[in-house]
Structures are given as structure tokens and as C-alpha cells.
Amino acid sequence: MLILPILWKRFIDFTKVYPKTVLIKPFFISFLLPTFLFANLLQDTIDTAPPYAIIKLDNAIYKGNIHIDKPITIEGVGDDVILEGSGVRSVVSIKSSHVILKNLHIRKSGINMQSIDAAISMEKVQNCEISHCRIYDVLYGIDMNMVENSHIVSNYITTKKEELPLRANALKLYYAHNNIVEDNTIENVRDVTLNYSNYNLFQNNRFIGNRFATHLSLSQNNIFKENIYKYNSVAMMFMGTKNTQVIGNEILSSNGAAGIAVMIGNVANFIFQDNRISFNAKALYIQGDEKGKEMKRYIIGNEISYNGEALHFHASIKNNTITNNKIFSNIDDIVKDTGKNFDPSNTVEYNYWDKYIGFDRNGDGIGDKPFHVYQYADQLWHYNHKVKFFYASPIMTLLNFLSNLAPFIEPNLIMEDKKPIFLSF
């Protein structure tokens, strides 16, 4: 039985002879060492490797909870390199900058919400990379606590297959700045959250079947570009954010009780441009602030189509720039549930509205008269959603016609486009 410690010592000696690149091929010694020792093998290799070493793993299940406290690269060279946790705490804990994890399967974290058990826990680090990994059967995906200048690229992330309230976040960014999250697929999780996190870029990601696919709170200067959102309860939520850019995304088929594509609350200098928002119950839900003079929103060049509600305003309709959008095939273009009417602080022009009724006699592509959206007394579904079931019924159609023809009280003006785009077919 002395052969076991002898082989173990020879393997560790091998890592010392070739310190920069280590290839672990467990099948060479699997007939002597049981699988549960592979985790010790990997942890010992990490502990004995010099900084910036590259550890390459062949196909195997490496059990245990790995701790990394030095710059190092761990790369799977096969398609089935699995880091499997013990069901307690995080599978991989990173406490050093310049760590790279690549081409790994990571699974079986703990289930403690308070300790944020995750596939990968990163704390107070910089210049790290998590790429081409498959993360599943975990509580949290990647916990990024005070992480900066790092890359989360080309990963697949899902969490434990529990009821939605028992799932946790795929990505949790907390005081995390200047990171790039790109080309990931995030599916069937609770949320992706950014809290107090600034200057991050989310690009070319796919968010499918989540609760709040991306939820920002008190964060600044973040960019969301060319992502795809499908079948989420709420695709994007922005609360107390500044200088956010949402550009070129597809936001489709939000479902569940909310069915909101984009929820915008208390934002400043919010740019929403060149996006497609279709097949949602509510496309944009905008919570204005009566006293928020700097709470400006720029909604420019988007396609907003086939939604129950295109633009839903709560509290006020002010400080919005809404231009060059194509708004068509929605049940309601504009909905206002509380607050004051259309405010002069808005700039609304050059939008295409399929409900516009008018002419373009001089042929300049602009309607001869403004497009007005009024809130008539018959529009009860703005306050009682059960009434919307009867939206297309003959009685509601007749009420709409009569209210437009001869309103018995002065209707509320809730939107005016002074220069609506006129398209002739």
C-alpha cells in the first residue's frame, strides 16, 4: 500500500518540475486512486503551483470545494471536466485577481441563501475571466462582490430546478465595476442583479425564462447592447439608475402575472434606442416622478409592436423624449393610470402610429395634423384589467365610437405627437 503515497509524491514533484503548465490526467492513476481524491489532487496542485501557472484538466469529476488565492488558470481540455461541490458552500471561491476558469462544468453548490452559496464566488478581485463554462444545479451562479475589470464570456448558466421563489440569481453584481458580460445564455433562474455597480457592459447575451432577467438598482453608466430576452416575467427593470444605455436589444414575449418588457422607475438620462419590443403584456412601464426634474428618458428609434400596452405611464407623463419610433399593432398605444396629463416637458415627434387618422397633402412624410391620444371615460380597463377581456366586443366598440364622436365630458389628453410620420401603402 506504500504505492499510493509514492505516486502522490511523484505527481506533486511533477508539478514542481514543470511549474507553468500542469496537465492532470486522472485516468492514469484512477485504477489506484478513488474519485473522491481528485479534489484533493486539484487543490494540492493549486496550492503548490506558482502564480500564473496553467492547470489543464482532463475529463473527470473533481469533487470538493476549491479555494483559489493566487493568480492561476484552470482550463478543461475535454468536454466533460466537472467541478462538483459537496452540496455545502460555493463550489469555487476566488480570492485573487488574475484568475481564469475556462471550459468547465460546475455544479452542486450549497443551498444557503444567507451565505450566498454559488457555483463561483468572487470577492474583491480584478482582471478575472470565467469563460466557456456550464453552470447548473447550483443556488447562485456567479456571485461578484466588489469585482472589477473582469470578463464573464460564453457561459451557460442556470440554477437548481426548484420553484421560482427557491431559486437564486444567475449573476449577482454588488459594487462591481467595469466588467464585461458577453455571449452568455442565462436560463430559468430568478434574477440577474446589479446593485451599486457602474460601467458594466452586457452584450450579446440571451435571457430566457427568468423572473427579472436584468434588475438594476442604484447603478450608473451601464450599457445593455444587442441582448435577446424571451419568456421572462420582467425582462429589464431599472430603479434609481443614471446614464443607462439600452441599445439594439430584442425583448419578446414577457409572460407571467406582470408580463412587462421594460420597467423604468426613477431614472436619469436613460437612453432606450433601436430596440424591438414585441408580444408583451406591457412593453414599457414608466414610473414618473412629479418632482424629478432630472429624471429624463430618451426613447428613440424603437419598434414597439404587438403588445397589450405600448407605453404605460404611472404617476406622470413628463421629461420624456419619444422620437422616431414605430408603434403599431398594440391594443393600447398609451395608458395612464394615475397622475397628471401630458406635460410640456415632453418632446414627442416623428413617430409612426398605426392608429393615426389623417392626411399628408404636401407629401413630406409628416401628417398634416398632430396625433393625439385621449383618455375617454369609457376606457375602464386602464383601472380595472378584468374589463379588458371585453376589449374587442361589440359593446366596447360602440362605446369607443360614441366617445370619439360626441364625448359627453372633456377627455384627457395623455399624448401629443406634433409631427407624426405618415406612411402611404
Find out whether 129 and 155 touch, Cβ atoms under 8 Å. Answer: no
Burial 72-102 (b: 16+ CB within 10 A, else e): bbbbbeeeebbbbbeeebbbbbbebbbbbbb
Cα 113 to the chain's mean position, in Å? 21
Q: How far is residue 211's CA from residue 235's CA, in Å, rounded to a whole number?
A: 8
Residue 383: count of CB within 10 angstroms of its CB: 10
Give the torsion sign (CA, 12, 14, 15, 17). Answer: positive
3-class DSSP state for residue 55? Answer: strand
- Per-residue pLDDT tens, the chain, 425 aa: give them: 333 333 344 344 444 434 467 777 664 443 334 444 455 789 999 999 999 999 999 999 998 799 999 999 999 998 999 999 999 999 999 999 999 999 999 999 999 999 999 999 999 999 999 999 999 999 999 999 999 999 999 999 999 988 877 889 999 999 999 999 999 999 999 999 999 999 999 999 999 999 999 999 999 999 999 999 999 999 999 999 999 999 999 999 998 777 999 999 989 999 999 999 999 999 999 987 655 566 799 999 999 999 999 999 987 788 899 999 999 999 999 988 766 667 888 999 999 999 999 999 998 999 999 999 887 654 555 555 555 566 556 656 666 666 666 555 567 788 899 999 998 65
Residue 269: count of CB within 10 angstroms of its CB: 16
Q: Cell match 418632482: residue? A: 291
Q: Which residues contact 326 (CB under 8 A, 6 or more apart)?
A: 302, 303, 304, 305, 351, 352
Phi, psi of 28 (to 5 degrees): -65, -30
Find out whether 224 and 246 touch, Cβ atoms under 8 Å. Answer: yes
Phi, psi of 330 (to 5 degrees): -100, 150
Cα 49 to the chain's mean position, in Å? 37
Cell of 194: 446589479
- End-to-end C-alpha distance for the chain, whole angstroms: 87
Cell of 348: 414627442
Q: Give the residue from 297, 250, 291 showing the smallest Cα distance to 271.
A: 297
Q: Which residues contact 75 (CB under 8 A, 6 or more apart)?
A: 54, 55, 56, 57, 100, 101, 102, 103, 104
pTM for the predicted model, two decimal places: 0.86
Cell of 226: 444587442
3-17 and 38-48 helices cross at what angle (nearest 10)? Answer: 40
β-pairing verdict for 129-131 and 151-153: parallel
Per DSSP, the residues of 200-265 read -EEES-EEES-SEEEEEES-BS-EEES-EEES-SEEEEEES-BS-EEES-EEE---TTT-EEEEEE
β-pairing verdict for 245-247 and 270-273: parallel
pLDDT at 304: 98
3-class DSSP state for residue 39? Answer: helix
Q: How far is residue 356's CA from residue 347's CA, in Å, rounded to a whole number?
A: 18
pLDDT at 14: 41
Which residue type does 350 have? Answer: Y
pLDDT at 26: 61
Number of H helices, E strands in the chain: 3, 41
pLDDT at 63: 83
94: left (phi over 0), alpha (psi -120 to 50) or beta: beta
Q: Show the CA angle centred on residue 329, arms to residues 324 and 335, nearest 5°.
A: 75
Q: How far is residue 343's CA from residue 322's CA, in Å, rounded to a whole number?
A: 13
Q: Give the residue from 36, 84, 90 showing the smallest Cα distance to 68.
A: 90
DSSP letter for 389, please.
Answer: G
Q: Show the CA angle centred on residue 142, arms to residues 231 and 77, nearest 5°.
A: 100
Q: Which contiguous run of DSSP H or E holds residue 334?
A: strand 332-336
